[in-house]
């Protein structure tokens, strides 16, 4: 059965999030997505995503329609592609083979992740896609979000003490891992 995966990336930050999600998708499928999956990306920056197309049997980069919001693009796409459409918001990524909503995770509470992605793609945009998959393998946005929430839930004195000792939470602590 044909599955269509849709991304809508209108800003540069969303393109980086989309690229992260595609890399995680390729990691889940060991760089060999099923032939029954088609990937469609609406974006203003197709040149930043075209390198991923060679890994998919069906890959399309479409220009964002003028004055159209994400919901109208999604509805129009569902009319074209049928009902088996998985829409990945810019801050979602697959964690296992795509069967249902449990196959994906979201990091909505981690706006700082954009800093990591900008740094990663700034450094590694010219790397091959398999190397990018290897480099991003240990970067799990949901796990970083969980660690951030744990730190934020500490009593204020514990947070201050950790910050003074250099053990406070910061998104920059994860740049070393990349």
Kindly give the confidence (pLDDT) of every residue in the chain, 178 residues in length, as a single tens digit, with 9 standing for 90 and above.
788 999 999 999 999 999 999 999 999 999 999 999 999 999 999 999 999 999 999 999 999 988 888 999 988 998 888 778 899 998 999 999 988 778 888 998 888 999 999 999 999 989 999 999 999 988 889 999 999 999 999 999 998 999 899 888 988 888 755 5
The H or E element that residue 148 is part of is: helix 141-152
Domain spans in the chain, listed from the N-terminal domain onward:
3-106
- Determine the length of the chain: 178
Looking up tokens 């994400």 gives 70
Question: Taking the model in full, what pTM does it have?
Answer: 0.89
- CATH class for domain 3-106? alpha beta
d(CA 129, CA 5): 19
d(CA 20, CA 118): 10
């Amino acid at each position: 059965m044909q599955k269509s995966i849709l991304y809508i990336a209108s800003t540069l930050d969303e393109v980086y999030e989309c690229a992260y999600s595609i890399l995680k998708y390729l990691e889940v499928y060991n760089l060999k997505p099923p032939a029954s999956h088609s990937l469609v990306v609406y974006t203003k920056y197709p040149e930043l995503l075209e390198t991923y197309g060679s890994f998919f049997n069906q890959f399309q980069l479409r220009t964002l329609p003028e004055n159209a919001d994400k919901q109208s693009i999604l509805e129009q796409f569902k009319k074209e592609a049928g009902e088996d459409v998985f829409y990945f918001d810019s801050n979602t990524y697959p964690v296992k083979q795509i069967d249902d909503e449990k196959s994906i995770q979201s990091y909505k509470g981690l706006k700082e992740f954009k800093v990591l992605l900008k740094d990663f793609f700034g450094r590694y945009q010219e790397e091959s896609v398999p190397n990018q998959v290897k480099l991003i393998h240990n970067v799990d946005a949901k796990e970083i979000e969980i660690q951030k929430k744990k730190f934020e839930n500490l009593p204020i004195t514990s947070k201050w003490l950790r910050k003074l000792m250099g053990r406070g939470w910061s998104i920059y602590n994860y740049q070393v891992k990349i």
